[in-house]
Amino acid sequence: MRNNCFTYIICCFLLIHFSCTTQVKVSKDEIIEQKVDSLLKLMTLEEKIGQMSQIRHFEANVDEDVSAKFIGSIIHTQGPNPGETALDWQNRFIVLQKKALSTRLGIPMLFAVDAVHGQNTFNGATIFPHNIGLGATQNEKLVEEIAKITAIESQATGFNWVFSPCVAIPFNEKWGRVYEAFSESTELTEKLTKASIKGHQGNLEDSNTVLATAKHFIGDGATDFGIEGGETSLSAKEINQILLAPYKVAVKENVGAIMASFNTVSGISMHANKALITDTLKVGLNFKGIVVSDWQGYSRFGKNDIINAGVDVVMAVDGNLVGFQEGLREGVKDSTVSMVRIDDAVKRILRQKYRLGLFENPFPDPSLIAKIGSKEHRAVAKQAVRESLVLLKNKNNVLPLSKETKKIVVVGEHANNSGLQSGGWTINWQGSYENYKGATTILDGIKKLSKGEVVYDQEASQNHFDADIAIIVVGETPYAEFMGDIGHESNQLQLTLSETHQKYIKTYQEKGVKTVVVLVSGRPLVVTDQIEKSDAFVAAWLLGSEGDGVAEVLFGASNFLGKLPHSWPKSVEDFKGKYGPNFWDKSIEPLFPIGFGLKH
């Protein structure tokens, strides 16, 4: 009997041990998938369509619509009204989030913003150089740190989703969004795409991280003649070899979303391009995140065709909500849109909300507000300015400047205006033409470092020809999207400097004053003559809020580290083809090759 009891005990022990040691550990991703499937089974068609809907937070009836129409996400598009604080923004989004949580299933919302170079919609945030400047740094660790800071300051103002980074490969400097992309180099773009997504997303459940978005899928920067939303006539092989690589990196980094592009490929709108969105991106690359439309994508690019192509979230803005929801509901009713497609879209949306931990922590963290525009954040932005500057010419080692220089004249409105130095997507969609909160200018930095006399001659009209050095700051005025296309009817932009800015340079050069030209632009411009006649020439790109970082390099506190992220064109005639000279005719020699950059 004793032996039987002992045998029984041993058998029980072995059974328990076997059960424990063979228990399969369920991963976090598997748990999320189980939660998604369980929640999806409870949802009505109305609730599913609501999750696919994205509206603006200040549209008419938005508070009512959030709960009544089960809205899944909010997009914020413009800077704050005067007097609004970050806490005001948080509180506004908390009100809307509580509306979403009050619905039958209590699904939290995503709050999205175009934070493309810092949380650039908030006056007082840290604004970094645009991506073209970050491409000039070639510094992936810096790009990752910038993305981390952008995530913190975005969360501090109430957002958990950013429409960044842009991973386009620009083929033509006429395109109005060249500055949003890192480089014309696929390899460099891959490297910085990885860094940006890592920085933005980190551990997504943390309160200081956000969902990132790779954009715009695909061919946005490679349209014929650089037209925003134009035709991308590259072959499938060329698209795969040149343009798809950064998206492969983004998917590998588990990016939360990818935004569809305005352009067409082989005559088919990218929003409605099932072969590329579903077959290539979702199936071929195994992308598990959200495909989000661009502005008014539903009404502009084929309505339910874009849903069937694989778009999951629709920017149903500017009065388009009713048309989208009713149109999609009718599509399901008449079987032109399958419930399988609807369920796929909603699963992708819920998956990211669970990854972000929104069901447990749906509200922004007020303790992050103190970090907006902090000294530490601005120090990183200033480092980015320093490392992004590319020295194209330095005749007779005129740079670095001596702090003991007796008299320096600083010329040009761009030298004393943080709005002009920052470009588009700064406070406002099309940028700003005036100084904004917390920013420093190039002139501020020169005055701070120089021990001699510094005078400011904004329009080269004060005849300070006795100056030892003229620092002449010229460039483009702010623009964004199609309004930045060279040749577009909405602007007078050109591939060369304006006559006014050429005059600034000539005024001092013709009087024999040594000239250091600083070019503030969103793309390489044809400035061959100006470079030839200047003593030193610096490509400064679009600097963001820390303009005084330029002076630190001019005066030698730091050396020039930037390398050209694009080849630099020699002549306007080089742009007669549908692509820029580096792409359409390899026999055209650039003024400077990609990767060029001097030190002083």
Is residue 386 within a helix (H) or strand (E), and if so which, with residue range? helix 375-388
- Give the closest residue to 537 by CA, choosing from 447, 456, 473, 590: 473
Cβ pair 394, 536 in contact under 8 A = yes
The alpha carbon torsion through 235, 240, 243, 248 (nearest 10 deg) reads 160
User: Backbone phi, then psi, for 132, in 5-degree steps?
Assistant: -60, -35
Helices (H), 62-211: 62-68, 86-101, 131-137, 140-156, 186-201
Q: For the chain, how long is the longest CA-to-CA vector?
A: 115
Cβ pair 181, 577 in contact under 8 A = no
Burial label, 98 (beta-carbon count in 10 A; 0-12, 13-18, 19+): middle
Candidates 481, 485, 548, 552; catalytic one: 481
Q: Could you give the C-alpha distances from 185 to 189, 215, 247, in angstroms and in order? A: 6, 16, 14
Would you call 470 helix, strand, or coil by DSSP? strand
- Give the closest residue to 380 by CA, choosing from 549, 521, 213, 542: 549
Crossing angle for the helix pair 140-156 and 375-388, nearest 10 degrees? 140
Cβ pair 215, 255 in contact under 8 A = no
Which residue is listed with tokens 């009817």?
Answer: 489
Would you call 161 helix, strand, or coil by DSSP? strand
486: left (phi over 0), alpha (psi -120 to 50) or beta: beta
- The DSSP call for residue 221 is G
Candidates 47, 253, 294, 305; catalytic one: 294
What's the order of all strands across the beta sheet hosting 407-411? 390-394, 536-539, 514-520, 469-475, 407-411, 453-457
The per-residue DSSP string of 32-85 comes to: HHHHHHHHHHH--HHHHHHHTEEEETTSTTHHHHHHHTT--EEEE-SPPPTT--
Euclidean distance between CA atoms 100 and 121, whole angstroms: 24
Paired tokens of 328: 């999609």
Q: Is 30 a catalytic residue?
A: no
Q: Is 481 a catalytic residue?
A: yes
Which residue is listed with tokens 């650089």?
Answer: 226
Write the single-letter amino acid at 240: N
Would you call 595 helix, strand, or coil by DSSP? coil
- Residues recognised as catalytic: 294, 481
